[in-house]
Amino acid sequence: MTIALSTTLTDTDFETAVTATKAALSEQGFGVLTEIDMQATLKAKLGTDMEKYLILGACNPTLAHRAVGIVREIGLLLPCNVVVRADTTAGSVIVEAMNPDLIVQVTGEPALSDVAAEATTKLQAALDTLGSRDAVRS
């Protein structure tokens, strides 16, 4: 099992990729609850430089409600993290979403399989939307 669902965007800048990612997630019923700017945070806290790297905490309320109803502790694994990061070696932007099947594997709770499958379908659709906007799918 892979840790992420992923697509690589070419011919776009980072800010455009972030905006497009948020729109694609919204189209699939996900809201972005949090944003962590890793580049700015690590620069401010450690004085280190890194490429543009944004973690979006995406949540689909219906799916989250279903998952919490099955395993209360599942909130520890929510929201679904989506990373938008610059690939400085290729001049592209990579968008990665946490593979929802991980919640089934981590908890060992088979009742979460349907929720994970639906989340996977929705996240993959969002990535595919980005991929159809002049991207190379990885």
CA angle (48 as vertex; 47, 53 as ends), nearest 5: 120
- What digits encode the pLDDT tens for the residues 27-50? 999 999 999 999 999 999 999 999
Strands 92-98 and 53-59, sheet pairing: unpaired
**Could you identify the residue written with the tokens 């996900």?**
30
pTM of the predicted model as reported, rounded to 2 decimal places? 0.92
DSSP state of 26: H
Q: Is 91 left (phi over 0), alpha (psi -120 to 50) or beta?
A: left
The residue among 14, 1, 3, 22 whose CA lies nearest residue 94 is 14
Give the tens place of pLDDT for each residue, 68-101: 999 999 999 998 999 999 999 889 999 999 999 9
